[in-house]
Structure 1
Amino acid sequence: MLAPSAHKALTAIRLSFAAILVALSTGPVLADAGFQRWIAEFRQVAIQSGISPSVYDRAFKGVTSPDPEVLEKARYQPEFKAEPWEYFDNRINEHTIARGRQLARDLKPWLDHIEGQYGVSRYILLAIWSMETNYGEALRNERVMRHVPRSLATLAYADPKRAKFARTQLIAALKILQSGDIDVHHLQGSWAGAMGHTQFIPTSYQAYAVDADRDGRRDIWNSIPDALATAANLLRKNGWRTGETWGYEVILPEGRKFPSGSMPLSKWASIGVVRANGKPFPRGSDMAELKVPDGRKGPAFLMTNNFFVLKRYNNADTYALAVGLLADEIAGYGGLVRDWNRPFERLSFTETQELQQRLSALGYYSGPIDGKVGSGSRDAIRAFQQRLGINPDGHPSKDVLRRLRGQ
């Protein structure tokens, strides 16, 4: 006979197990049934928007439940705000520069053609490609790529904040499928529906997609020429100026404040702002706006028209600046004169990979050995620092790597 305490515990276990069974038998079934009803009801909306019933049915064949990873990513709000040095170090390093230069050589005939037709710098296009999918590597990652109709239907069904956007993008995605540019099995994208090597949402694809290789399909998933030409077409149609840069690194005179908004470069020069490389501004009449993403102690920039065109691709200053800086490095123009205000000695890309490998071997890190420092790497570094009794700042520094090598 069980003691009262043991009997109570067993009863609790049985009740918990029963609750789990109820959850398993009702929760997902109800959710799936609701999602299936949504798909059935949206079918008529799609047909009224010009989608054929057969295309709609083909897009959702086998789709019976929302994509939980899409909902997880939609809910995820990162607690850590990347410092400027972290954002740029992860995107502009010897790996992304060398790969871009190699691709500039390998794809020269296509880049000559695209640059000649659209007037957009090949180095800018290569930098965008790097930023968006790591030169297409992300497209081969099954953990990242999702079935676009299911992703967008998931957001439309279960995410009130994104429902309107998702419904519009879903109709556009179905029209892409109906056009024959891509088949249903290759209609893959990010959790939010961004597609192909250069990551276009469906409505942007409809507005800018180009069949550069002339095979009868605008295939930004499998055709690199199509993807790069599509990016070039977007920039050109949004006001890219051929032969002009995105901006200039500058040195600011000490002890004075600067106006907000745009002024001619000649005006900036007249108040003591000079190019960091010592060269004159080539066109004094160009309008430019001052940006200091890392404060007055970090690098400063005067941004011209093409910087703001880059923001039509992604409306973030850091994104547009990273594209510009990486493009300049790939082109061989050199890096920053004044580095980011980084509170430690920076690791190279290969050293960062070594740091991740050593943290993994000690059981602190379980993420990819990709040379990119994210929350997983920072947490692992902090845990290692705490074990040593030093300040757990989480910085991927040469000091941390030296200590790891000593383990």
Structure 2
Amino acid sequence: MGGLSKVKQWSMALCLVVLAQTSVAAEPAPKLTQAGFENYLVKLKQEALSQGFEQALIDKSFANVVFHQRAVKADRNQPEKVETLDTYLPKRLPDWKIKRARAKYKEHQDLLHKIADEYGVQARFIVALWGLETNFGKIMGNYNVISALSTLAYEGRREAFFKRQLWAALKILKDGHIDIADMKGSWAGAMGQNQFMPTSFIAYAVDGDGDGKKDIWGNQADVFASMANYLKKEGWNDELTWGRQVKLPADFDNSLAIPQRTGGRKNWLKAWAKSEKTLAQWQALGVRRTDGTNLPQVDIKAALVFPDGEQGRAYLAYDNYKSLMHWNLSYYFVSSVGHLSDHIKFPPIH
């Protein structure tokens, strides 16, 4: 996967899991060839012209495009191994990553606090996302983004989606935020230290230091500010945390929780609204902290989440949980972000 770690491969697969659920192959996948890809590129370039892009930009952007069979293989072979949070979290949050997260927080503390104050997003969540997406900027992917997106559009199962990403990528190049030679990303086209798909870049990326560019590949101010802007636009509240693991009574009505599988973001949000109650209401239903003590006496609402189903862990999820689920519709990813942010906030006492 172009130099990506196993952790990153898993994370990038999750970025497309919702789309993958809608793609059920009724027939064997068509054979993809270099000649077929080259013919497809001719049509893509013509369509790019019709989208309003200039010929010079198209020629430059597609000059070194190649067909990536490995990207097709990665997209068609999404991981299906069943895990639980008890097996997943230790692998995604090893001690070295927690220590590095705390060190990176300290290293960039002034910049992080400036951005946190400006956008209303706690710095620890920015660092947690940064660490889990690209190991603090070390693993961003080595694929030419135009090549990766063209390959997956040609593959055909989600052609419309990857074409939208391709037009957005061309707009990013047109606006001068990055040179084509430096526009690297994952096999799926996710870019930079925060792994934004091109349409997410258009929607959320910001110029964090006022230099006129939105450089999420190499400019730390742009990286952090873009992450914070994403969360802010998706309803983040810096007066809240993400959630908390809780203990349920033996006779608890599990139907009050969000189902483990809801079939997409819209249905998940409907299930959230149905599950949401005040902490006082959850307290009255017998929900307690994991140590058995009472829930906080604050006037906020939370939904109940079972990442592993009814037999696994239970979490009360606050509104910020929804913002993280918009970033990546995965209970495991959101749980890892939340737990890593907690480790940053509550370092061990020596």
With structure 2 as the length reference, what TM-score do the two structures score? Answer: 0.81
Distance 1:229 1:43, change over 3 A: same
Aligned pair partner of 1:211 in 207, 211, 230:
207
The whole-number CA distance in structure 1 between the counterparts of 2:290 and 2:95 is 22
Deviation at 1:262, TM superposition (A): 1.4
How many correspondences in the alignment? 299
Q: Deviations over 1:359-386 (max 9, x none)?
A: xxxxxxxxxxxxxxxxxxxxxxxxxxxx
AA aligned opposite 2:181: H
Q: 2:78 matched to 1:77? A: yes
Aligned pair partner of 1:221 in 217, 220, 226:
217
Deviation at 1:60, TM superposition (A): 1.1
> Aligned with 2:250: secondary structure?
coil
Alpha carbons 2:120, 2:232 under 8 Å: kept: yes
Deviation at 1:220, TM superposition (A): 0.2
AA aligned opposite 1:223: N
Other-structure match for 1:276: 290
AA aligned opposite 1:275: R
AA aligned opposite 1:322: S
Q: Deviations over 1:39-96 (max 9, x none)?
A: 2222221122221111111111133x41111111111133422232222111112111
> Aligned with 1:267: secondary structure?
helix
Deviation at 1:307, TM superposition (A): 0.5
Matches within 5 A, 1:267-346: 267-276=281-290, 281-282=295-296, 284-294=298-308, 298-332=312-346
Other-structure match for 1:147: 144
> Aligned with 2:214: secondary structure?
coil
Distance 1:316 1:166, change over 3 A: same
> Aligned with 2:124: secondary structure?
helix
Matches within 5 A, 1:241-252: 241-252=237-248
Other-structure match for 2:112: 111
Alpha carbons 2:252, 2:285 under 8 Å: kept: no
Deviation at 1:277, TM superposition (A): 5.0
The whole-number CA distance in structure 1 between the counterparts of 2:232 and 2:171 is 24
Distance 1:111 1:280, change over 3 A: farther
The whole-number CA distance in structure 2 between the counterparts of 1:156 and 1:298 is 38
Other-structure match for 1:358: none
Q: 2:156 matched to 1:135? A: no
The whole-number CA distance in structure 2 between the counterparts of 1:176 and 1:283 is 47
Q: Highest CA radius of gyration, 1 or 2?
A: 1
Deviation at 1:329, TM superposition (A): 0.7
> Aligned with 2:117: secondary structure?
helix
Q: Deviations over 1:21-52 (max 9, x none)?
A: xxxxxxxxx93333222222222211222211
Deviation at 1:193, TM superposition (A): 0.7
Q: 2:179 matched to 1:168? A: no
> Aligned with 1:222: secondary structure?
coil
Q: Deviations over 1:265-305 (max 9, x none)?
A: 10001122122256654454322111233456643211111
> Aligned with 1:290: secondary structure?
strand
> Aligned with 1:221: secondary structure?
coil
Question: Which of the pair has the greater relative contact order for Cα pairs under 8 Å at 6+ separation?
Answer: 2
The whole-number CA distance in structure 1 between the counterparts of 2:310 and 2:285 is 16
Q: 2:187 matched to 1:191? A: yes
Other-structure match for 1:61: 63
AA aligned opposite 1:146: Y
> Aligned with 1:137: secondary structure?
coil
Alpha carbons 2:302, 2:319 under 8 Å: kept: yes
> Aligned with 1:302: secondary structure?
strand
Gaps of 5+ in 1: 1-29, 335-407
> Aligned with 2:43: secondary structure?
helix
Aligned pair partner of 1:32 in 19, 31, 34:
34
The whole-number CA distance in structure 1 between the counterparts of 2:44 and 2:159 is 12
Distance 1:79 1:279, change over 3 A: closer
Deviation at 1:130, TM superposition (A): 1.1
Alpha carbons 2:247, 2:292 under 8 Å: kept: no
The whole-number CA distance in structure 2 between the counterparts of 1:84 and 1:328 is 16
Distance 1:221 1:32, change over 3 A: same
Distance 1:296 1:44, change over 3 A: closer
Q: 2:234 matched to 1:238? A: yes
AA aligned opposite 2:149: L
Deviation at 1:254, TM superposition (A): 2.4
The whole-number CA distance in structure 2 between the counterparts of 1:79 and 1:240 is 31
Alpha carbons 2:177, 2:214 under 8 Å: kept: yes
Q: Deviations over 1:187-244 (max 9, x none)?
A: 1111111100010000010011111122221000111221111111011011111221
Distance 1:77 1:242, change over 3 A: closer
Same amino acid, percent of matched pairs: 37
- The Cα RMSD (Å) is 1.9
